[in-house]
Amino acid sequence: MSKYSIESFVNETKENPLERDYFELEKPQLLEINLNNQSVWTKRGSMVGYVGKINFERQGIMSGGIGNFLKKAISGEGSKLMKAEGTGRLYIADAGKRVRILYLNNESVCVNGNDVLAHENSIKSNITMLKSIAGALSGGLFQVKLSGTGHIAITTHGDPITLLVTPDAPVFTDPNATVAWSGNLSPDLKTNVSFKSLMGRGSGEEFQMKFSGNGWVLIQPYEEVYSVDK
């Protein structure tokens, strides 16, 4: 049999039937979610295929209560989540970005809203807002805090790196390259005016996120520009 035959192609690219975890990386850029009369939240537009009986429901703008309503309306987050419910295999992806699965054990993490791909129904999500105009200008104003016990999936452009934060060594990052950080950290936003003056024009580096305390920060080798849904 030729290595370029259709049969060879199918054998090389087909799913692995032995992998049936709830959240499973089918490929580095493709997440498989195995539903057994369950529901899961996914990023709207991320579904690329499914097998079985799965229904999809767009998240209402009022979900999460009035406290989240205004932030969702401003940020467009209210239109970005979709509920998938039923039994079957669901495949989701986001623009070829790499997928990372994390299991939270009564823990919390903060993730840039654009990088949340999916989370179990048992995970509580809350949109958090960095109270600085610098955040709005750099596109990093809205994040999602995910808390509880269960699986979550986040996405990155390329292979990320985790930087450890200690009391004697704070970490500074570009908001557009910052993907996630430990839930106990509350970053500050600072403006590097001298850098802006040196360059003579606006640049992402003029706005920085400062992480202090004990924890970690995940950054990607890419400065992502975030858009607001209309």
CA 51 to chain CA mean position, Å = 24
- Kindly tell me if the per-residue pLDDT of 4 is higher than 80: no
Paired residues of 104 in beta bridges: 150
pLDDT at 193: 57
Q: Name, in order, each residue with C-beta under 8 angstroms of 1's C-beta and a sequence gap of 6 or more.
A: 7, 8
Q: Is the pLDDT of residue 203 over 60?
A: no
pLDDT band (50, 70, 90) for residue 226: low
| Listed residue (54, 108, 56) closest to 81, CA to CA | 56
Q: Say if residues 75 and 38 touch (Cβ distance below 8 Å).
A: no
Which range has the worst mean pLDDT, 12-21, 117-126, 195-204? 195-204
What is the model's pLDDT at position 155?
Answer: 96
Please provide the size of the chain in residues: 230
Confidence of residue 216 (pLDDT cuts 50, 70, 90): very high
Read off φ and ψ for residue 16, nearest 5 degrees. -90, 110
On the 0-12 / 13-18 / 19+ scale of CB atoms within 10 A, 5 is exposed
Look at the pTM and tell me if it is higher than 0.85: no
198 confidence band (pLDDT: 50, 70, 90):
very low
Assign 196 a pLDDT band (cuts: 50, 70, 90).
very low
pLDDT tens digits, 108-165: 999 988 899 999 999 999 887 665 544 444 444 578 999 999 999 999 999 999 999 9
Q: What is the pLDDT of residues 51-94, one digit of tens each?
A: 999 999 986 544 554 445 444 544 444 447 899 999 999 999 99
Residues with Cβ within 8 Å of 79's Cβ and at least 6 positions away in sequence, in order, are: 44, 58, 59, 61, 229
Tokens of 195: 């850098």
Homologous superfamily of 18-219? Mitochondrial biogenesis AIM24 (3.60.160.10)
**Separation CA 150–CA 118 (nearest Å):** 11
